[in-house]
Structure 1
Amino acid sequence: MDSLMQHIVALDDSESPLDMDGFRQWTKNLHAARNRSLQQPTLFEGSEALAPIHVSAISYDGDPHRREPPAFARASGQHRLKLISRLGSASARPQADGEAWLAQVDDTEQKVIAKIFCPSFQIPEKPSVHDFEDVPRPRQRARTEAQAYSSLSCYQGLWIPYFLGIYEIELLHGETADMVLLEYVPGQSLFDWRRPHVLGNCEDHSESDPEITRLHNIHIEWLHKINRHVDAMYERGVQHGDLNGFNIILTPGTEDIVIIDFENARFEYLFKDRDVQKAVCGFVCCENHLTKLFDYCWDNGLPYEWWEWWPGLDRVVPLSSTSADDTGPS
């Protein structure tokens, strides 16, 4: 276990209440901090309340397939951030682990992603210490994400964003938070791409419809990419843990895949199939394509267990699974 992972575990232990009295006092303090944050907010559009941060230089190897690092990060220096807009879920803070913000760097047009994890963002409601011990706290998630990006550093700028550092910051209401700073990769989430491409049961589309074939070919291409990326993660000892359609970005014009949001990553007891299962369910657009993609995986020795997660499973049985002689890919 490396030093950063040891720090993750140590932080978790230090935040875990030892008894019910400690649990009650801990959650009481979190509620008080949340109330203070509502009265004196730090995180809002246009906020420049975050202290300047020192960003270390990011090296670039000249690989034409790799994006260049953000211009401001090509040399070490101090920078100020201005929060522009909150990204991702609009759920209320009690259900959120952290807040992801698009931020402006200094007075330039350059943008970054600032993910801010604060203890009072997630307050456990179960009054059981034993249940609570298994729930990662926000600051633990920040360090988990930093560990994942560090472990996958050779893929930064290819299919994950550049990791620009983790910073301990003080918010105006007196709480200490962690901020993970990442390259901003413009694009569309796989979930958002999927919405206009859902074709239901394809009852109005024949097998000869070119749109059916086009989307099926896209699914196969993405399956291969995701499978390669997941293999690479596992070789580096990382399981993403939440590889759904929200956490896969398609870059404009290329539809290359960029994987984001590693705060739920695991570094031991890895289950590769779970990452593939979640990812595939995020881009297969209909039951017709579910069957076609399952058959393709079955015939080509690719992961196929993901079909069991499809929400319409009670209405579809992949064709190849009905053969009594088939035992699946070896």
Structure 2
Amino acid sequence: MGIKYISGFRGADHAKQHLRRSVHLGSALTSGYTVLNPAEAFDQQACFVYLNGALLKEGTSGAGGDYVLSGSNTVTFNTAVATTDAIEVISYAFQNPTLPQTIKEVNHTVTSANETFHATSFASCTFTTATDLITTDSSAAHGLAIDDVISVTASSGTDTITTGRYRVLTVPSSSTASITTVDGTAIAFGGNGTGVAFTRVFNKKVPLLTQINHIMLFLNGMHLVKDTDYYVDQQSVTIDSTVNLLEDAVVAIRHFGSFVTQVVGEVQRNGITITDDTHNLLLSSGDITGNTTSVFNLYVSVRHATATNDAYQAATFIVRAEKAVPADCYL
């Protein structure tokens, strides 16, 4: 018999599916009624947007789409909505201890051009904040192309470019390049920079990748270490410049989509007294394992203060805590 459950397995197999739903009027949108920040975070892997009850198509207007998703809390409509329009955003997150819901496979064979990336570095460059432009020292040719990624390793100045990964937006000349964040968002530094050093790094876009999902990355079969050998951003993976890339080596990315990590643990609270017509704290934000969704069993054993120890009564609850701010979670 085929599987009939959205999470892939029956609830008896401890598979869980979390539904997040936000409803807004068009008047809640910003940027000319085109940008919505839903009340609930979504997973780009399984997110559905409705306008007045009609399911919209994800994608840019050039691709025939109605909206694009950014991060886990921004929906940008290609056309402004009316203030009275009803917008509904529904997202599912899956927790399946037996098998991830989806596995995406991305393979890339390192080319001769890719091989030179991590050996291409520049120092003593400048950064111009008015145009988000990096200029190499003595007008040296940087060899960058649009959509390349660089890793800035040093800079000097006040409120200027910081270390990190950036994506090339335009290439005005062989010695200059304008940049954005690695995810394509405009940067907003206030001052010019000097002594900027950067290295060209290998970056691979991965379809349907989000920060909350889990990936494994292999280079010629060797499992690399996240945040040391490679870095995961919203829609791409960047290999650190210290990793030696050789022509014809295979970069294999295994992306586990819509997967929520289980946390196993137990918290005990003893000797809590609740007097008549008052309340007392059982659990606080420090006991909640995540700031998006936590699901746990709560066992409560209680008796009257004057009763004997054999007079306890027990109750079991299944609790779901879903809050953007963990400090707001208490029971």
TM-score scaled by length of structure 2? 0.21
> Which structure shows the higher strand fraction?
2
> Which structure shows the higher helix fraction?
1
TM-score scaled by length of structure 1? 0.21
Larger radius of gyration: 2
